[in-house]
Structure 1
């Protein structure tokens, strides 16, 4: 890499240092990775490392303030099988909003709370039905199919002493969550 201090191409190494970043008016200290010149020891700007350091500071800020992490937002969206744009439209957000949050930007508390409510399929279904005209028919059908796999299936059987036993299981064996709107098998 080029070292501006040595004014030449040099060998570099990555060191771990403590750095403090201002995030929304708050000082966040992280263990950062910094590229250094092996000749003079000066820091050399490395876009990839600097971007990751900033994302690490944002993650700590979100954790301190109880905000969803980028990967949590992605998992919520993917649970319903929607693109970032379609998910944003269902929530009434701008087209690029979810993409920014999934790439590490920090959501404000109101938008964070809205996305967090979407963890519950019944909440998502309500907004999906309300905003179905804002997304394609294919996206709507895809989301409804994904919602169907999250439903609880209730089966029942009788024991030898005539007691009824209820069994709850998801429609899909891979479904991690249960929600309302039961139906009986």
Structure 2
């Protein structure tokens, strides 16, 4: 439904503009990117419910991020992972039966409760222990469904179908398929940018692997070992039999944007880009330019740097990665 403009005294169309805003929440200053709706006829500021809802969510997300609190999407992921309802999950965690429902509806969890939810997302054993400890509080079907989900997740992980290697292999296969030519050096940097912007935009890393701050930029050691025999030549692999069952549509859209905006550059150019970014530079502190290092590039550093990039460039979706890629290319080559 189109809004009413008091200045034009008519129902009008509107355009959305992004602005950087600040808000104090519980004594903490929060910076976030908001939207404003303006009348296309006179330019007046309008109230549009969907824009208002968008801004509330942005404030909510920015505060959660600043406080390190779990997101609604991550809570939903836990529920789906463990095939459990909101009420049973609350009881298994030792909380009031409506607690998880409140959090899904937008209430802010305490840091302690947030940490508990994050722990069950990261560690199947933690969830299994809590399930056994509190199984008397839930129905038999809720217990058995959750128990079976945990066992299935463990089985898949032990077989390599869930977790680091299989997921990163899916990402690599997708990148190889989408790029006309890709050298091992370029692949390493595309993996790095895929990981970084996945967290910045989707609030979740694509895979669990850590990269190291080598002389030539971020490197995933296992992937280096796998493709090192190609040297500076493009990787050639048969891709017909590959599938991408572990990649969601959202993740594929992200990878498409990475290919479009970074895959157009050579591995050497991508290396130079990573050399002026904080995550690689901070991990290389104390090392000379050509000194080998296996120092891990901290995921927390990646989070902070690329969250700042997202805010600086007002990124709303994966298409907005283009502005950053063009800007950093200019900084390194003009």
What TM-score, normalized by structure 1, do the two folds share? 0.74
What residue number does 1:18 align with? 20
Contact 2:30 2:66 in 1 (8 A): no
Tell me if 1:149 matches 2:149: no
What residue number does 1:162 align with? none
In structure 2, the CA distance between the partners of 1:105 and 1:4, relative to structure 1 (3 Å rule), is farther
Give the paired residue count.
Answer: 161
Contact 1:21 1:54 in 2 (8 A): no
Matches of 2:161 and 2:105, distance apart in 1: 27
The CA deviation string for residues 2-36 of structure 1, in whole angstroms up to 9 with x for no partner, is 12343321221111122223333322222211211
What residue number does 2:80 align with? 78
Contact 2:16 2:36 in 1 (8 A): yes
Per the TM alignment, residue 80 of structure 1 is displaced from its structure 2 partner at its CA by: 0.8
The structure 1 residue matched to 2:125, chosen from 117, 122, 125, is: 122
The 5-angstrom pairing of residues 19-168 of structure 1 reads: 19-119=21-121, 120-151=123-154
Contact 2:119 2:126 in 1 (8 A): yes
Matches of 1:96 and 1:174, distance apart in 2: 34
Structure 1 gaps, min length 5: 154-168, 178-185
Measured on the aligned residues, the alpha-carbon RMSD in Å equals 2.4
Per the TM alignment, residue 78 of structure 1 is displaced from its structure 2 partner at its CA by: 1.7
What residue number does 1:165 align with? none
1:150 alignment partner, SS class: helix
In structure 2, the CA distance between the partners of 1:174 and 1:74, relative to structure 1 (3 Å rule), is farther
Larger Rg: 1
The CA deviation string for residues 31-76 of structure 1, in whole angstroms up to 9 with x for no partner, is 2112112233222112222222122222222222222222222222
Structure 2 gaps, min length 5: 165-334
Per the TM alignment, residue 121 of structure 1 is displaced from its structure 2 partner at its CA by: 1.6
The structure 2 residue matched to 1:170, chosen from 146, 158, 161, is: 158
The CA deviation string for residues 109-149 of structure 1, in whole angstroms up to 9 with x for no partner, is 11111212213222212221222232221111100001111
Matches of 2:127 and 2:49, distance apart in 1: 37
What TM-score, normalized by structure 2, do the two folds share? 0.43
1:40 alignment partner, SS class: coil
In structure 2, the CA distance between the partners of 1:62 and 1:152, relative to structure 1 (3 Å rule), is same
